[in-house]
Amino acid sequence: MSLMSEVGQKAFNLGVPLTVHLDVTYRCNERCVHCYLDHDDHGEMTTAEIKDVLDQLAEAGVFFLTFSGGEVFMRRDFFEIVEHARRLMFNVKIKTNAVMIHEEEARRIRELAVDTIQISVYSHRPEVHDAITKLPHSFERTIKSIRFLREQGLRVTIANVLMTVNSSDHMGVQKLAAELGVHYTLDPTITPMMDGDTSVLSLRIPGEDLPEIFHNPALVGSQEEFCAPPKPASAEDLEGYSCSAGHSFCYISPYGDVFPCVQFPLPTGNIRQQKFLDIWNLSPQMKEVRSIQAKDLTVCSSCSHVASCSRCPGLAYVEGNMRGPSTADCEKSFYRTGVPTENMLRQGLSKPRAISGNTAPLIQIRPIQIQPITVPA
Amino acid sequence: MPETCIYIARSSAIAARALAGEMMVMNSADSMFFTLNEVATVIFQAADGRTPLREIVRDRICEQFDVDPEQAQADAEQFVAELSGHGILLVSNQPLASETP
């Protein structure tokens, strides 16, 4: 087990929120066709409120802090917020479209010792990228900004969301990332909009296209390992928990709402009304999420994939039951290994049913970091 | 011959947080990740750039832990050299200004 994994496990066991994702705004200068957010400002936290949240997070033991949005640079006080976070010695990661980053901003980011900047790039073809963001010349501006950041020696990751309109471009984006000297991650997740509008789901790539991704060693590492048939679950596997959501990770919205995860829209409290640690430690919803073990899952506990499936309790919750299957992950397990899931077998399906309507994203895979962090033995 | 004073300060490029008595430290320059044990954590937290290392060892380490002072000083110097090599601690024979991002 790597040192990082050991620390993660320790935080998980102790119930310490090691990692927090904080959206500082939902406002954005792009209008991406697949975006699930409402970009109007319905009362974002003020600078002082966010600084107070950061103070509370530091006290709670948070180490890894991701600032995201919306577009973080839509806040004029963003650098003031990052400066406060760094003074509190968080490891800071920023997710941005980078359009508003010029030489001066890149220099400031380096001075603040930000760990990583993750930037959305949808295609290596400017016309495809700009058609997705609906912002003319956004590709040109984003790539220019990546060069500014690299000139400062900063660590940059290109996040490539995959959908129908750019499904054939991931190799081109990977090549572009290599040329720019930055990391690359792939994310084929398309999520229903916050207001329940599911029209964006038509942009999901078909499940039948997944094997091409799952069998690409450049994306998944060892294909044999990644696509291996599931191993029988041990007693220890059945005692296990789904993921770090609510255990050592949580999400905070620009309005102060606290959730177990970005993809787990179960409200657990609002930081404007309660202290963060009170929500984290005492919220009945957080406690319920923490209580779910593999053996408690209604269908998945008897599934052959239970030990290796990346079942997301948040996506299962969106489907109606946080202890139930997440169809998106059933599909992922099936298309990864070729072995049907218990959820499919119970429905008499030989392949997953195409998802439509107000359900979870079709697929969700974790970003793949091509160059892992070096951890001393 | 007078003893050389060593002053230590934390770099502004690092992230750090205590987890169950141990300090997690990461340098953003190279994403190297470390955890410091209880004794090392005491030295790290006392690295204010103004207190000589020998004073930190005498007043913090030897007071809190059952250790031989000379051995503690030697171990502390080795630890400081190692973290300094990774850009986590700044070392000088003059007091250092505390770095803030």
Q: Does B74 touch chain A (CB under 8 A)?
A: no
Shortest alpha-carbon distance between residue A109 and chain B (Å)? 10
Interface residue of A89, A94, A117, A149 to substitute, partner B, most B CBs within 10 Å: A89
Q: Does B85 touch chain A (CB under 8 A)?
A: no
Between residues A252 and A339, the one the model is more confident about: A252
Please check the confidence at residue B15 and state whether its pLDDT lies above 90.
yes
Give the DSSP letter of residue A358: S
Q: What is the pTM of this model?
A: 0.89
Say whether B12 and A113 touch across the interface (CB within 8 A).
Answer: yes
pLDDT digit string (tens) for A147-169?
999 999 999 999 999 999 998 89
* CA–CA separation, A196 and A358 (whole Å): 7
* CA–CA separation, A30 and A120 (whole Å): 11
Helices (H), chain B: 38-46, 53-56, 62-64, 69-85
Give the DSSP letter of residue B59: I
Q: If pLDDT is split at 50, 70 and 90, which confidence band does B101 have?
A: low
Smallest CA–CA distance from B22 into chain A, residue: A7
Shortest alpha-carbon distance between residue A89 and chain B (Å)? 5
pLDDT digit string (tens) for A242-275?
789 999 999 999 999 999 998 888 999 999 999 9
User: How large a percentage of chain B has pLDDT more than 70?
Assistant: 93
Residue A90: which of B15, B30, B33 has the nearest Cβ? B15
Q: Which domains does chain B have, with CATH numbers?
A: 7-90 (3.90.930)
3-state DSSP: chain B helix, strand, coil percent, rounded to 5?
A: 40, 30, 35
Average pLDDT for chain A: 88
Say whether B13 and A7 touch across the interface (CB within 8 A).
Answer: no
Shortest alpha-carbon distance between residue B3 and chain A (Å)? 33
Smallest CA–CA distance from B100 into chain A, residue: A87
pLDDT digit string (tens) for A313-334?
988 888 889 999 988 788 888 8
pLDDT digit string (tens) for B58-80?
999 999 888 899 999 999 999 99
* CA–CA separation, A229 and A219 (whole Å): 19
Question: A327 and A249 in contact (C-beta within 8 Å)?
Answer: no
What confidence score (pLDDT) does residue A98 get? Answer: 98
Please check the confidence at residue A295 and state whether its pLDDT lies above 60.
yes
pLDDT digit string (tens) for B36-51?
999 999 999 999 999 9
3-state DSSP: chain A helix, strand, coil percent, rounded to 5?
A: 40, 10, 45
Mean pLDDT of A88-109: 98
Say whether A115 and B19 touch across the interface (CB within 8 A).
Answer: no
Between residues A19 and A214, the one the model is more confident about: A19
Q: Taking CB atoms and an 8 Å cutoff, what residues of chain B touch A61?
A: 17-19
Shortest alpha-carbon distance between residue B21 and chain A (Å)? 11
Residue with tokens 């954590």: B41
> What value of ipTM does the predicted structure carry?
0.90
Question: A169 and A125 in contact (C-beta within 8 Å)?
Answer: yes
What confidence score (pLDDT) does residue A352 get? Answer: 67
Question: B26 and B35 in contact (C-beta within 8 Å)?
Answer: no
CB interface of B with A, residues 18-57, below 8 Å: 18-20, 24, 26, 28-35
